[in-house]
A and B are shown apart, each in its own frame.
Chain A
Amino acid sequence: GESVGLHLPTLSVQEGDNSIINCAYSNSASDYFIWYKQESGKGPQFIIDIRSNMDKRQGQRVTVLLNKTVKHLSLQIAATQPGDSAVYFCAVSPPGGGNKLTFGTGTQLKVEL
């Protein structure tokens, strides 16, 4: 099966600093990875995704890095803003799981002014 975990349950950063949120996964055959942002009382919001044939992908202020050797995924947020405060989840599509996603435990990002 697939298990997904996050290294830190809470991350506090100063406004303007860069944030790095980490995620580890267990199944080396996993081929699709997504980062979601969830604000309190709302559904998850897609941030960025990456497939296993890539090791880096950039979006607006966000970068996802995939290290398949150590089965590690990270989300980097540049110039973190107060509006970035939320819980961030990584999700993994396990091989043979169809379109199902397995979510990590989540990291609470707190942006301090």
Chain B
Amino acid sequence: GAVVSQHPSWVICKSGTSVKIECRSLDFQATTMFWYRQFPKQSLMLMATSNEGSKATYEQGVEKDKFLINHASLTLSTLTVTSAHPEDSSFYICSGNGRAYEQYFGPGTRLTVT
């Protein structure tokens, strides 16, 4: 149980375009979902926390107008990288909250901006 999926698993886009990444909890309801970014050989950095039906809370230094997060249902959250630039190339990982503190992570989405 507690499976989280992400789509797409990888994406290549041109600079200036927008990319949407989906995060779904497949067998549980995630009241809260988290979005992380991970650069090569580095740790996971929390970008934002999203609660179903409300606006996301962004971590300091993360541009909310650039990284649009929507958490429309208890099983789906989306991250849209708007006007992507090469420096946005990274591994984006989402997680959903299960019981208490437990977070279940998705497999990640590799974004490459050319």
- Of the stretches A14-22, A40-48, A58-66, A75-83, the one at the interface is A40-48
Q: How far is the CA of A87 from the CA of B85 in the complex (A)?
A: 28
Per-residue B-contact encoding for A44-55, CB less than 8 Å = 1, 0 else? 111001000000
B interface, by DSSP: helix, strand, loop or mixed? strand
In the complex, which of the residues A43, A102, A105 contacts B105, with contact meaning CB atoms closer than 8 Å? A43
Per-residue A-contact encoding for B98-114, CB less than 8 Å = 1, 0 else? 00111111111010000
B43 to chain A, nearest CB (A): 5
B80 within 8 A of A: no
B49 within 8 A of A: yes
In the complex, which of the residues A42, A101, A103 contacts B107, with contact meaning CB atoms closer than 8 Å? A42
A3 to chain B, nearest CB (A): 11
A57 within 8 A of B: no
Hey, which chain B residues are within 8 Å of A49, CB to CB? 101-102
A85 within 8 A of B: no
Q: How large is the interface on B (under 10, 10 to 19, 20 to 34, 35 or more residues)?
A: 20 to 34
A43–B102 contact, CB under 8 A?
no
Q: How far is the CA of A46 from the CA of B103 in the complex (A)?
A: 8
B106–A43 contact, CB under 8 A?
yes
Q: How far is the CA of A44 from the CA of B44 in the complex (A)?
A: 9
Residue of A98, A104, A105 ringed by the most chain B CB atoms within 10 A: A98
Q: Which residue of the partner chain B has the closest CB to A4?
A: B43
Q: How far is the CA of A34 from the CA of B97 in the complex (A)?
A: 14
Q: Which residue of the partner chain B has the closest CB to A105?
A: B43
B29 within 8 A of A: no
Q: How far is the CA of A44 from the CA of B6 in the complex (A)?
A: 13
20 CB < 8 A contacts A-B: A34-B101, A36-B105, A41-B110, A42-B107, A43-B105, A43-B106, A43-B108, A45-B105, A46-B102, A49-B101, A93-B101, A99-B49, A99-B97, A100-B46, A101-B103, A103-B43, A103-B44, A104-B43, A105-B43, A106-B43
